[in-house]
Every structure is written in C-alpha cells, then in structure tokens.
Amino acid sequence: MSVAFVFPGQGSQSVGMMNAFADIAVVKDTFAEASSVLGMDVWQLVSEGPQESLNATVNTQPVMLTADVAVYRAWLAQGGAVPAMVAGHSLGEYAALVAAEVLSFADALRLVKLRAEAMQSAVPEGVGAMAAILGLDDAVLQAACDEAAQGEVVAPVNYNSAGQTVIAGHKAAVERACELAKAKGAKRALLLPVSVPSHCELMKPAAEKLGAALSGLAINAPKMPVLHNVDVATHDAPADISTALVEQLYRPVRWVETVQKLAENGATVIVECGPGKILLGLNKRIAAEARHVAFTDPAQFAELA
C-alpha cells in the first residue's frame, strides 16, 4: 500500500470544521502557534465564526493552512506513517510543503497571509469574478473563453475533474464566457461567491509580491516528493520550488493531472488531509482505481491502520 496525502485549500472552510479534533493536544497547540504568529485567535474564528469573517480571503488562507497542518500533525501524533508523496489544491500546496519540511509552519503562515493580502489588493472589489462550468469539454471551454475575452482576461483556472472546471478573470468577460459555455452545451455555469479571480493573469501583481517575500525565506529540499499544481512535477531545488509557487498564483491548478500523476506514481490510497471532503469527491472521479479516504475526524485515521 502506497499512500499519498492531498491537502484542501480555500473553499473547504466552515465554522466548526475542527470540532471533531478539539480534544487533541497537538491540534490545539498548532492553532495556538498560528494565533501567536498571526496575532489573532484562529481557534475562536474557526469555532465560532462568523462565517463572513472566516470566508474573507485574508483569513481563509492562513486558517485553512493551520487546519490542514493540525490534522496532519494529529495523524503523526497517533503513530500514523509519513506518506510517500504529497500535493495540495492551490493554497493546500503550502500545507504539503510544511508536511515535507520545505517551509516551517511559521514561515508558511506569514507567506500565505501576505499571499492573501496581495491577491485581494491586486484586483479591486467587483472587477474580477470566478465561475464553475459543469459538463463541458476543456477544449470547448477554452474556445469559449477566447471568444468571450474581447480584450479582457478570462481563462480556465481550476481543472478540478472531468467536466468540472472553474474560470476566472474580469467579471464582464467571465459572464460572457458563462453564456457562451451554456450555448456550447455546458450543463451549468455558476458564478462563485468570491471577489478574487485566482490563478489568472490578473494575479501577476500579487505574484511579484509573493516572489519578493519568498526570496527572503529559508526554503529546504523536500523530505518527501511534493507534486506542484502548476507543472504537475516535483522539485528539489529551492529556486524551482519558489518559481512554482509564484507561477501558481496566475496559472491554472491542474488538479486532474495531479491526482492522475499520484496514481501513476504508485499511490494506491489517496487521503484528503484537512477539514471537509471536497477533494474526496473529485479524486474518486479522477483516479477511480485508487482507494480514497478523507480525514474528516480522528476516527477516520483507523481506515489506514
């Protein structure tokens, strides 16, 4: 049995999402460490909300990183084995890098807080948008985006599973692309309740800020392979890891290929390590031959015993 861990990102957050882990000392310690680094009570936000504050990008990103790392540490604390390979969906990649000891947890927290702030400031409120397109071939969707752009930015940015792709860009262009996608046969085209158009060219100013921050951080060679979203490849050199993180901000999340690569590299079990089970559903559709587990509570640890 070869086990790969994947870490969820923004979109998996909910008030009370860590309640099942509340009695585990290492979980509370992880949240206390995050609270100290960030200067805010992260456990209170996760436990009590309000949801609007939890959903704010500048809070969601460090909170989800903390939750992912806390669940991973809880797994190790009860004697769980280190996975053979790790990956993370968008923001979740930072948790994968902490698990692989590429980044310290404290450095990763500061980095994702800066990342979130840079993303929020890169595009004024109301200018950008994202939408989920269901039931359309990737090539047809790309053509719809090209046709809808009309001098603005709109492109596929999250290849989540076959027939489930997210697009992002200028709001008007995204809306045009949604209409074209439906005209070309999409089952649904749904605008998402987000203000930041992630993983498209509008994020290049944020990527520059992230690159500057990364240049001052200690980046270590990974203790286990980390499969990166942007190129579906592993990297050992700190400079290459930094480049992958910078480019991830304005290039698509290739999740379908990422999960396929985990399976091709021998992963027979793929574990979603963090709150929720959004990735579980996607992963089952991508790599049906693998066994899939979500650590939604400590009782799930026994599934890998």
Three-state SS at 198: coil
Half-sphere exposure of 253 toward its Cβ, with a 13 Å CA cutoff?
25
- Is residue 199 part of the annotated active site? The answer reads yes
- φ/ψ of 68, rounded to 5, equals -60, -45
Q: Is 124 helix (H, G, I), strand (E, B) or coil?
A: coil
What is d(CA 178, CA 133) in angstroms, rounded to the nearest whole number? 7
Of residues 12, 90, 161, 195, which has the active-site annotation?
90
Report the alpha-carbon distance of residue 108 to residue 62 in Å, rounded: 8
Catalytic residue among 12, 170, 195, 199: 199
User: In terms of Cα–Cα distance, which of 274, 271, 215, 242 is closest to 95?
Assistant: 274
Is residue 195 left, alpha or beta, with left meaning phi > 0 and alpha meaning psi from -120 to 50?
alpha
Active site residue 195: no
Contact 255, 161 (CB under 8 A): yes
Cβ count near 210 (within 10 Å): 23
Positions marked catalytic: 90, 199
